[in-house]
Amino acid sequence: MGSMEHTQIQFRAEFTINEGKIEEYKKLVEETNKDVEANEPNTITYQFYLNKDQTKCLVHETFTSSEAALAHIDSVTSQTIFVKILNVSRMNKLEVYGNPSDELQKVLTRHSPQTYNTFAGFSR
């Protein structure tokens, strides 16, 4: 594996949106999406997917490294808008893919993630 594949960290999170809060949720997601795209060049993928009845959202995030993931978590956007997102939804699940640093694992502990370490494969 090349060094890039070896250091990338991916998150997959599942949220349940509180009843009657979909419009507020969408507005907050759009705001966070703009901020991350503008200010976090080491965030490679930042995508949100809604189910048909808009009660659940899957979020896929890819970072160049554990340090980039930590920078995202420590960002003003995560410290302000993400808190508001958690007021209108609940994170049911967090999966982490790759080989997260000890520091990143420690920070994520509060979300009880399931971590899948890189075993084989490639990315183009």
pLDDT level of residue 3 (50, 70, 90 thresholds): very low
pLDDT at 122: 83
Q: What is the average per-residue pLDDT within 33-57?
A: 97
Q: Render pLDDT for 101-124 as a digit per residue (tens, 0 to 9).
A: 999 999 999 999 999 999 898 877
Angle at 95 between CA 69 and CA 122, to 5 degrees: 75
pTM recorded for the entire structure? 0.91
**How far apart are the C-alpha atoms of 1 and 46, rounded to whole Å?**
23
Which domains are delineated in the chain? 3-116 (3.30.70.100)
DSSP letters spanning 15-76: EEEPTT-HHHHHHHHHHHHHHHHHH-TTEEEEEEEE-TTSSEEEEEEEESSHHHHHHHHHSH
pLDDT at 2: 43
